[in-house]
Structure 1
């Protein structure tokens, strides 16, 4: 495998992660049809012994395994920044410590970069599950091609962060992930879109995303709404949106994120922003 198509898989974890979830996440990388050339695991602060035991059991199962230790919990954003600084290869696959990669994730996404050198960011649809991947409750889907993803950006985030793989140089060229409450990824894709970098989304879900009521709790409240409002203002000032879209988007976000209860918010996502479906394992 040439260096330019080699992949660094980056995963961060902290003390609040469940050992069984971290185990499944790491096992899904072991079981790839094409393993990443390196796996970088960032420990964000002290963790319980059970998590350390899971990590130790995988340290010899990858060809190139780096375990980065951060002494005090710094937050996921800073932990990810530290991990990106340790990546050796051009392609970086972001992996969450409570999600599960489809066995063909690395192979499928790597092939897209190999086929089209102009592509900078690749994500996939997500198979959302509760408790077990045998219980897929919905599919979070996005358009496939760059033009449609760019049109979508003024309405919502055009990339599924849990399944993203990108060219590290391109991401770094716009400043990488920059703190923006619960929207670091959205802010990054906006800056990359403004610079003309090419996006792609794979229709086949390549990540099983663990979901529950807490996921939708984090997508509500005044603080989250204000963060989203600032994002919409940014796109309006950058010419990526217009006043009509801005007004509709802000009104809908206020209703969903501030007015609705968490249960109703979850129902809104299920009815309007998700599809029913399943994928082969």
Structure 2
């Protein structure tokens, strides 16, 4: 990466989504981690409220709207009458962001203190990079109760090689250029694979990727996460994406067969407990 003196960092937006099933307390912690506890705060936070939500979540949004006035950042909620799913909600969120650089954040995770500064410096020094993500630390209950870590390749070449087997970014950590995302068609509805599908389409268009090689976000996990990553519906979504990659010559037929076979074992044949052990022992570090 280029080396030059870093001047004033560019303004940026944060794209978030929240829906009725989210935990209001965790949502508040997520917002706190990207505002009051960040070394570099966002200039704008766009929160797409994906359908009707309970009063507890509304209260968190109203609380941080008041804080945004005091702390000089813009918080813009976008209220949807019906739940439209993550892919559609994110498409709306990105379109509503006014700044060229956008960071993703999930509604129940905790950003590390220097997350945005780290990513902004990389994008500022390397205008050819379109997406920069990072590693995650996974915890249950208390943030100190770390149960896993997902470490990803750092360079563009390594990331694109990794993408032939698995999703090359931790979605909740990414920061990207809006123009590059829009050029690839933006987010689209794809069950549990909205992000992976986007990265593949960006790769096809020659976008340049990077990961920091450092942990940027602490991520909540639990038995529910491993349950969601199994079953026929999830498997069919994964296989449909693998077929897209095969048809578009991102992967070979041999890689397609191997990827589909591994996913069938993990997502269909294994119980949630077995899947949890596999992720922790073999897939996560």
Bin for the TM-score computed over the shorter chain? over 0.9
- Who is 1:35 aligned against? 41
Match of 2:105, SS? Answer: strand
Query: Which among 50, 61, 65 is matched to residue 44 of structure 1?
Result: 50
Q: Does the residue aligned with 2:219 lie in a helix, a strand or coil?
A: strand
Q: Distance in 2 between matches of 1:212 and 1:59?
A: 30
State the secondary structure of the residue aligned to 2:203: helix
Give the Å deviation of 1:142. Answer: 0.5
Three-state SS of the structure 2 residue aligned to 1:66 is strand
| Residue number in structure 2 paired with 1:146 | 156
Mean Cα displacement is larger for which, 155-164 or 239-248?
239-248
Output one character per residue of 1:62-93: Cα deviation in whole Å (capped at 9) or x when no partner: 32121211122222222222211110001111
Q: Please list every run of 5 or more consecutive structure 2 residues that lacks an aligned counterpart in the other structure.
A: 1-5
Aligned positions of 1:53-92 closer than 5 A:
53-62=59-68, 63-92=73-102
Distance in 2 separating the partners of 1:122 and 1:137: 24
Counterpart CA distance in 1 for 2:156 and 2:250 is: 15
Matches within 5 A, 1:1-281: 5-30=10-35, 31-62=37-68, 63-275=73-285
Q: Distance in 2 between matches of 1:183 and 1:204?
A: 24
Contact 1:3 1:90 (8 Å CA) reproduced = no
Q: Structure 1 length normalisation: TM-score?
A: 0.94
The runs of 4+ residues in structure 1 deviating greater than 4 Å are 1-4
Count of aligned pairs between the two proteins: 275
More divergent stretch after superposition (43-52 vs 163-172): 43-52
Shift of 1:45: 1.9
- Would the aligned equivalents of 2:86 and 2:189 in 1 still touch at CA under 8 Å? no
Three-state SS of the structure 2 residue aligned to 1:61 is helix
Give RMSD over aligned pairs: 1.6
Where 1:203 maps in the other structure, the secondary structure is strand
Question: Which range moves more in the overlay, 171-180 or 239-248?
Answer: 239-248
Alpha-carbon distance in 2 for matches of 1:185, 1:37: 24
Contact 1:4–1:89 (8 Å) recurs in 2: no
- Distance in 1, Cα, partners of 2:20 & 2:259: 36
Q: Aligned to 2:217, what secondary structure does the other structure show?
A: strand
Which sits farther off after the overlay, 250-259 or 234-243?
A: 234-243
1:71-121, Cα deviation, whole Å (9 max, x unpaired): 222222222222111100011111111111111111111111001101001
2: CA distance between counterparts of 1:141 and 1:76? Answer: 24
- Gap regions ≥5 residues in structure 1: 276-281
For residue 60 of structure 1, give the secondary structure of its aligned residue in structure 2.
Answer: helix
CA, structure 1 residues 252+201, in 2 after alignment: closer, same or farther (shift >3 Å)? same
Following TM superposition, by how much is the alpha carbon of 1:269 offset from its aligned partner in structure 2, in angstroms? Answer: 0.8
